[in-house]
Amino acid sequence: MEGHLCANLKTSVEKPLAASPPSCIALLKVYRELLVSKIRHTQCLIDNLINNEYFSTEDAEIVVQFPTQADKVRKILDLVQSKGEEVSEFFIHVLQNVTDAYYELQPWLDEIGYQPSENICSKPVINTDPVSRYCQKLRYELGRDSKFVTSYAQREEMLLEEIYSNSIMEMVNFTNESLGEVCQLQALFDDAVGVINEDGETIYVFGDAGIGKSILLQKIQSLWAKKQLDIGAKFFFHFRCRMFSCFKEDEAVCLKDLLFRYNCYPDQDPTEVFHHILQFPHTVLFTFDGFDEIYSNFDLSSVPEMCSPNEPIHPLVLLVSLLRGKLLKGSKKILTARTGTEIQRNIIRKKVLLRGFSSNNLKEYTAMFFKDVGQRTLILNQLEANPNLHSLCSVPLFCWIIFKCYEHFHSMFDSHELPDCSVTLTDVFLLMIEVHLSRSLKTSLLKNNVRSQAEVFKSRKETLLALGKIAYKGMRNSIFIFEQEEVSSANISEEDLQLGFLRTVKGYSGCDDQSTYEFLHLTLQSFFTALFLVMEERAGNKELLQFFNECSSAEAAQRTCFHVPWLKKPLTGEDPFRNNEHFHFTNLFLCGLLSRSNEKLFKHLVLPAVIRKKRKTLITYLGESMKSHLKGVTRSRLPKYNQVQVQPNFVWMLRCIYETQNEKVGKLAAKRMHANYIKLTYCNAYSADCSAISFVMHHFQKRLALDLDNNNINDYGVKQLLPCFSKLAVIRLSVNQITDHGARILYEELSKYQIVSYLGLYNNQITDIGAKYVAKLIEECSSLEYVKIGANKITSEGGKCLAQAIQKSTTMFEIGMWGNQVGDEGAKAFAEALRNHPRLTNVSLAFNGITTEGGKSIAEALQHNNSVKIFWLTKNELDDEAAMSFAEMLKINKKLVHLWLIQNQITAKGVKYLSEALKENTAIKEVCLNGNLISQEEAKAFESEERIVCF
Ligand SMILES: Nc1ncnc2c1ncn2[C@@H]1O[C@H](COP(=O)(O)OP(=O)(O)OP(=O)(O)O)[C@@H](O)[C@H]1O
């Protein structure tokens, strides 16, 4: 049509006006039908024409009398043309400037090459288009909604801007291997990094409870609202996934209503706004928070995969269709869920893992939280002295609770310390409850500033029971949102609500006049559930253990059936969205509340005999379940070790054991392992879990190997391992978050006991400072044989220290340095260490920025070495000259078995030296040269020498 009309223009208008551009009146005439069909909005045009006094109010009234949009446009065109060239020009100028409304005409405007005159440019154009207005409203409302951190209860809202701190955020691949840290939120949307599936559209952010997934979305929302997120998103729709559980099975909603009713409603012309969204899906950003919180019996397999944007259907189908890109294809989507939630791979574009606060993040957060420098120093000192608390602080939610408690005790009792009994997560939650309760108490009850937790709890026993009851009922039925009626019928009064454990949420059920509530955080609902099970005397064994059973049955179900909850058909009656972390938390708190150390607290709340009985039941159950869990684990026999590889769920078992603080249970667990090599790799263990690990491991009598590779452990975690260092012969902490401070702790502890033979620190955050501690350990610890410290941040300085230490060591067998930056200086120091070394057998200096200069030193030193058998120099910058030195060395050295020179800059000339040298060396089995500057053709010359591997 446009092309056709353009052709018309060329024949009818262009010729006579070849020297000057066509008149605007002429353009409006020629393109009349195009304009009539593409202009959907007349109001904005009228507003602008009136505003510039081109139209009178009568003109406007005439236009609005016409019933159809097309007729309105025709009338405007008639009027505009009749008013002359200037008005016609201004009319086109408005079309060009209000792009949101007249986007369909933009190609036409480009085609006619419309350039407004200076006079017209000076005329103001206002945008009264419904789409633009809606965008403004969205920005305003989303900005307002994201301003405060909502979990700070009703009374104590804090500005997001004043409390949000960066945390560790990593792009990972499908197997959760790191693809690098995300330093700026904008990078989440940048296709240059981290895309693991081109066809997927969803950025999947995952992490543990309280790690900051929701607040991250809030931050993104806030940046978008302030126009500080430049990703081309005009629309932003935020959904909390738990709302999808609120819809009945037979409920149906169309996409338009889902977007507008549950976010922000357009004041004008919703149909047009929706039409725009459908036309430009790539301008829409969705955030879906907490996929793990959907609980529904809705059978997704009963609906077709395709669904129309206009057809009413169950909201869950809309959600899934959006995520799959079946609806609004091309829109940007961020989905969050807790670690372990199964998400169908093909919807995922990027995977982002939240790991909580690093030590520096924690410092930043502390500075934001405690504006007073003195108070800040006090809390940091206290955390330093209490590693249990410190390691809990790597989870932002727990950190916030701890800080809030500290703040309270500081203000109430002028105490500079948290009560020293705070060791476990249960203790921390108990403190939080105490803080909330005591805020509402008359000061007389606080007995002249003498703190009594028991008394505070006693005074609000009924409130605690009522909250516990509603939490428990919800937990049993997977309900996290409570209607006003349920709250009232549980005898929760207005005063109880003021305590801040429950907060109001926007009504999801459509009846906005009624308040709906949820617990401040899901973990708090878990806590109250456990508290109820302890306080309710009628709760028998079955009730007490029901959530343990839920966890074990879900585990069994997961193994056998649905790994992809919303694609594979679940077992009849199974909830396809099931996630059981909140049950795990309930069990953990149950163990903590029933621990002996809390006996005093509960003395006034429950009959002591009842508590004792419950404790006995729980401990017996833990013992039994440990036995059955350990039956199913993978065991292997290694030289000197019996290895057991536990499942990630075993970490929950350890956490529960720790929470009991019962040494007998810890000892029993150690005994039941029947192993001395404990492999806890890929278990998603975080620093605070090291307390639990130590709690069990310190019961081992003899030397122990502990493999904690690929977890989320930082320096505080290392500190938590203090009780077991005296037993550790093997300690593997590769692919974690350890920095120089952690390296220092390892040096101080391991050098005390002199039994460690293997230290694994590959892929951490260690710099030259930490390398010096590791070097000291190598030097001072005569048992040490293996050190893996590759993929850290070690340069020549650290490299030299390590090399010098190795030179002095007579026990070191292997040093792994892959992926540091020791360069030639470091290489030379290693060369010195190798000269006449009595024992060092495996050496990797791969990917260390070593050039020929460093390579030559190594080759020369190896002429005087009788111990090294395998040497990796892969991915460096060695050329033919270096190859020549290695060739010379191979004529003399008769011990080296494998030489890896993969991915260097050696040409056929260098290979020739090496192959010649091999004629005089029968010891070497392989010189690997793949990825050097050798062609297939050239490689043929060395075919007869099988030990030279070029491809
Ligand atoms: N980056 C951060 N900066 C400051 N505070 C944070 C940060 N991350 C989390 N918090 C604190 O922790 C609380 C819990 O965080 P959030 O609700 O985002 O966790 P979550 O990962 O969504 O948890 P869940 O999976 O249990 O819903 C927040 O309300 C806030 O107080």
The whole-number pLDDT of residue 557 equals 36
Is the domain defined by 2-127 classed in CATH 3.20.20.70?
A: no
Closest by Cα among 124, 208, 47 to 655: 208
* pLDDT above 60 (res 446): no
Q: Exposed e or buried b for every residue in 831-842, given b needs 16+ CB within 10 A?
A: bbbbeebeebbb
CA of 231 from ligand 1 middle (Å) equals: 24
Residue 413: per-residue pLDDT: 66
Cβ atoms 562, 568 nearer than 8 A: yes
CA distance 292 to 303: 21
pLDDT of residue 728: 95
Evaluate if residue 566 carries a pLDDT over 50: no
Check pocket membership of 151 for ligand 1, CB cut-off 6 A: yes
Best CA proximity match to 365, nearest among 390, 400, 398, 389: 400
898-900 and 926-928 strand pairing: parallel
pLDDT tens digits for range 253-268: 999 999 998 888 998 8
In which element (H, E) is residue 47 found?
A: helix 43-51
If DSSP codes are grouped into helix, strand and coil, which group holds residue 605?
Answer: coil
Cβ-based neighbours of 919, under 8 Å, separated by 6 or more? none
At 4 the pLDDT is 40
Q: Does position 241 have pLDDT exceeding 70, yes or no? A: yes
Rounded to 5 degrees, φ, ψ at 37 are: -80, -25
- Report whether 837 contacts 865 (CB < 8 A): yes
Examine the pLDDT at 863 and tell me if it is beyond 80: yes
Give mean pLDDT, residues 564-582: 47
pLDDT for the residue numbered 536 = 93
Lowest mean pLDDT among 84-98, 113-127, 785-799: 113-127
pLDDT of res. 320: 87
Q: What is the DSSP letter of 150?
A: T
**Mind listing the pLDDT tens digit for each residue in 47-93?**
999 999 999 999 999 998 998 889 999 999 999 999 999 999 999 99
Look at residues 81, 78, 76 and name the one whose alpha carbon lies nearest to residue 23. 81
Phi and psi angles of residue 728, each rounded to the nearest 5 degrees, phi first: -80, 115
In b/e form, how buried is each residue of 171-185, taking b as 16+ CB within 10 angstroms? bbeeeeeebeebeeb
User: From CA 83, how far away is CA 75, in angstroms rounded?
Assistant: 12
**Mean pLDDT for the stretch of residues 689-717:** 92
pLDDT at 555: 44
d(CA 42, CA 128): 10
Q: Is there a contact between 944 and 923 (Cβ–Cβ < 8 Å)?
A: no
Pocket perturbation via mutation, ligand 1, pick of 218, 397, 425, 686 by most ligand atoms within 8 A of CB: 397
Q: Give the model confidence (pLDDT) of 341-355 as tens digits.
A: 878 888 999 999 999
| Structure confidence by residue, pLDDT tens digits, 261-313 | 888 899 888 998 999 899 899 999 999 999 888 876 666 666 666 678 888 98
**Tens digit of pLDDT for each residue in 159-210?**
899 899 999 999 999 988 889 899 889 999 999 999 999 999 999 999 998 9
On the question of pLDDT at 319 being above 80, the answer is yes
Mean pLDDT of 843-856: 97
* Residue 558 reports pLDDT greater than 50: no
**pLDDT for 465-487, tens place per residue?**
999 999 999 999 888 889 888 89
Distance 215 CA to ligand 1 centre (A): 5
Mean pLDDT score of the chain: 87
308-313 long-range contacts, Cβ below 8 Å, gap at least 24?
309/254, 309/255, 309/256, 309/278, 310/254, 310/255, 310/256, 311/254, 312/252, 312/253, 312/254, 312/257, 313/252, 313/253, 313/254
Looking at residue 893, what is its pLDDT? 94
Beta bridge partners of 353: 170, 206
Identity of residue 741: H
Rounded to 5 degrees, what angle do the CA atoms 597, 408, 690 make?
45
Residue 32: its H or E element: helix 32-38
Percent of the chain topping pLDDT 90: 58
Query: DSSP 3-state assignment of 867?
Result: coil
What is the average per-residue pLDDT within 135-154?
81
Among 214, 360, 363, the mutation site with the greatest number of ligand 1 atoms within 8 A of its Cβ is: 214
pLDDT in tens, 667-691: 999 998 899 999 999 998 999 999 9
With cut-offs at 50, 70 and 90, classify the pLDDT of residue 250: confident
Distances (CA, A) of 97 to 30, 52, 76, 231: 21, 15, 18, 21
Give me 785's structure tokens. 């044989």
**CB contact set of 556 (below 8 Å; sequence gap of 6+):** none
Residue nearest to atom 9 of ligand 1 (CA): 212
pLDDT given for residue 678 in this prediction: 95
Q: At the topology level of CATH, where does 134-356 sit?
A: Rossmann fold (3.40.50)
H helices present in 66-207, as ranges: 69-82, 85-97, 106-112, 118-121, 130-145, 160-163
pLDDT at 731 over 80: yes
| CB 158 less than 6 A from any atom of ligand 1 | no
pLDDT of the residue at 844: 98
**Radius of gyration from C-alpha coordinates of the chain:** 35
Average confidence (pLDDT) over 692-714:
92
The reported pTM is: 0.82
Mean pLDDT check: name the lowest of 418-427, 627-636, 712-721: 418-427
Cβ–ligand 1 contact at 97 (below 6 Å): no
Distance CA 319, CA 296 (A): 13
What is the 397 CA–ligand 1 centroid distance (Å)? 5
**Can you give the pLDDT at residue 385?**
79
| pLDDT for res 16 | 42
Q: Give pLDDT, residue 384.
A: 82
Q: Atom 10 of ligand 1 has which residue's CA nearest to it?
A: 396
Kindly list the domain boundaries of the chain, sorted by start residue: 2-127, 134-356, 359-459, 461-593
* Any atom of ligand 1 within 6 Å of the Cβ of 522: yes
Residues 887-897 have pLDDT tens digits of 999 999 999 99
For residue 334, the cross-strand partners are: 203, 287
Asked if the model's pLDDT at residue 571 lies above 80, the reply is no
CB of 710 closer than 8 Å to CB of 761? no
Q: Which two tokens stand for residue 328?
A: 């609004």
As a whole number of angstroms, the distance between CA 113 and CA 128 comes to 25
ipTM of predicted complex: 0.99
76 vs 36: CA distance, rounded Å? 10
